[in-house]
A and B are shown apart, each in its own frame.
Chain A
Amino acid sequence: MSFLNVIRKRLVFLVFVMFGVTLITFTISNLIPGDPARLIAGDRATAEIVEKIRNDLGLDRPLYEQYGKYIVGVAQGDLGTSIRTRRPVLEDLKIFFPATLELAIVALMLAIAMGIPLGVASAVWKNKPIDHLVRIISVIGISTPAFWLGLLLIVFFYGKLGIFPGGGRIDQNIAMPQHVTGFLLIDSLIARDFTAFKSVVGHLILPAFTLGFVHLGVVARQVRSAMLEELKQDYIRTARANGVSEFSIVFTEALPNAMIPSITVLGLAVGDLLYGAVLTETVFAWPGMGAYVVSSIQALDFPAVMGFTVVVSLAYVMVNLAVDLIYMMVDPRIRGIS
């Protein structure tokens, strides 16, 4: 199947998915017992004002009409207005999205940097003590409540040692670098503001480690099983027979091939990290989408929650598509299979 065909097929599926997602979120938001018009108007508003707001928002129209209006809006990039912040949801998400993405990317890099060596060691010394240790670390990673690990790290590194800050993205007494990309790491480098850069790195370490540790196990497990698969292959035996050193066999022969099937898992991890950040952000007062959506949920701000769900689902499906395309590019065998 050609690239274009895959893309075409997946874009059709994407439309289908977005239709389903909006339908699900719309149904959910109509389940809430509260009255959105009353929430917007506030407790002291008169019945006439509430009625007017209901009329303005079209909440008095039949449900199918409301849904139709909502989906037309989504298609045009209008996710509605947040009840809590009284701003367009898309504008809110634009502010918070880069913070979440920056955290997720750094966390993924940490998970990869720790997970690949662990996975390789585990495969090379299969059934040896180190393999058991790595497997136990992986299981613990998957089983750790991220919010709890974050709290412990704060107690130890902020409370006891005082070497890392306890929350936020940058010290409050340091000016934010000029907004270019929204990623503070990059923006502070562009502005050549190294004090800000140092502060940003310091603020990133604990939350990124928390988020990364949970995914470390996923990466290590995947690399381990892919490596075991590769090390069984004939070309490895041939290389060994030709006297290639064990180091080269592992790192230049087997590992690159083992990384191909791992791309899928790593790609899916990006999606997981994006929404997995919800809990980590809450603990570290990280001003990202996760913290935004938790506050929105607590305030029953459903336009915001729906907007978040739509945006994250879209990102999730796009990441999956990108992963599949990269997979096709690096592994020509897949292209032949429809």
Chain B
Amino acid sequence: MSEILQEKSAKQEKPIKKRSFIDWRYLWYQLTGSPLTMVGLVVILLILILVIFAPIFATHDPNTIDLRARLASPSADHFFGTDEVGRDIYSRILFGGRLSIAVGFGVVIVAGFIGTLIGALSGLIGGWFDTITMRIMDVVLSVPSLVLIMALAAALGPSLVNAAFAIAIVRIPYYVRLSRGQALLVREMPYVAAAQTFKASRWHILRWHVIPNILSPIVVQATLDLGNTILLAAALSFIGLGAQQPTAEWGAMVATGRNYILDQWWYSGFPGFAILLTATAFNIFGDGIRDILDPKQNAH
């Protein structure tokens, strides 16, 4: 008897091949079958390359003032024209994209991480902790998010970091609710019961059994949130609660360009188009990822 047990435990100690939480090969196979999603992905990659290597692709320094060339229309020298102090709008869009996209990823990662952790813990533990957490989330969710974000960003003081912080705080409840719902399902799974029989700690169960199994819908939500966050951050900058002058940032550029909109449409036009293109690409890609990773949510 003890021999058998020993043999079994020896077998278990064999190094198990590290398992990835997401099946990348399946994901890629599905992606290749969805042309629209691929277009979204390609556009995202192009934008990321342009923005990350902005110093290479930019034709001018984004902050160099050239008063002789102020408010110039688009030309071979200035692809998207220049602003009121002669800065090159094309170069400013490339550098500004770094901020917008960094805010997008930063917010989604922070809100997703904190929200998932709270939600999974809440679902796993249950009881009064769960009740209190979820009532707090219900209240936050019942307040219009844009209003709350604006109030919070204004109170913290106008800056892009504060705006990002405000968006992240308000987005957390969405991830809490999502991951809690999933955790409630996973909690009843035999493998969790098995782990409990072996006196696995709550943290161990959360880390190795719950989180890996609720990751798909959260990744889907996060991808869809990226476009939304970039839009929100730009909107906050537009009303003066985000990036401040003279920082090159898309929303702030649209806001300043507004003063010259009737004669120099390109000033607001191109930065706004950059926002639209980026948000559209992330939303198309997010939709595609949802169909692949979470087919239940969208059966059609």
Contact = CB atoms under 8 A, between A and B. Distances in A.
Interface of A: 13, 16-17, 20-21, 24-25, 28-29, 31-33, 126, 132, 135-136, 139-140, 142-149, 151-152, 154-155, 158-159, 224-225, 228, 271-272, 274-276, 278-279, 282-283, 293-294, 297-298, 300, 302, 305-306, 308-309, 312-313, 316-317, 320
Q: Mostly helix, strand, loop or mixed at chain B's interface? A: helix
B139 A20 contact: yes
19 contacts: A20-B136, A21-B142, A28-B152, A132-B36, A139-B283, A143-B283, A145-B238, A145-B251, A145-B276, A148-B273, A159-B265, A228-B300, A279-B238, A297-B151, A302-B155, A306-B151, A309-B143, A313-B144, A316-B142
B238 A225 contact: no
A155 B262 contact: yes
B215 interface: no
A272 B157 CA distance: 25
Contacts of A29: 151, 155
A21 B272 contact: no
A143 B157 contact: no
Given A28-B152, A148-B272, A159-B262, A142 B147 contact: no
B254 A147 contact: yes
Contact of B150 (A16, A136, A278): A278
Contacts of B108: none
Interface residues of B, number: 48
Interface stretch (B48-56, B85-93, B109-117, B227-235): B227-235
Most chain B CB within 10 A, of A139, A271, A298, is at: A139
Contacts of B147: 275, 278, 293, 308-309, 312-313
A234 to B, nearest CB: 17
Interface in B67-94: none
Contacts of A272: 144
A25 B151 contact: yes
Contacts of B148: 24, 309
Q: Mostly helix, strand, loop or mixed at chain A's interface? A: helix
A47 to B, nearest CB: 25
B275 interface: yes
Contacts, number: 148
B233 to A, nearest CB: 11
B276 A144 contact: yes
A148 B275 contact: yes
B214 interface: no
A279 B240 CA distance: 12
Contacts of B287: 139
A17 B155 contact: no
Given A145-B251, A297-B154, 15 more contacts: A13-B138, A20-B139, A24-B139, A29-B151, A143-B227, A143-B280, A145-B275, A147-B235, A149-B272, A151-B258, A152-B272, A155-B265, A158-B262, A228-B300, A293-B150
B150 A32 contact: no
Given A147-B238, A309-B151, A313-B144, A16 B139 contact: yes
A228 B300 CA distance: 8
Contacts of A275: 144, 146-147
Contacts of A316: 142-144
A300 B238 contact: no
A151 to B, nearest CB: 5
Nearest to A152: B269
A145 B144 contact: no
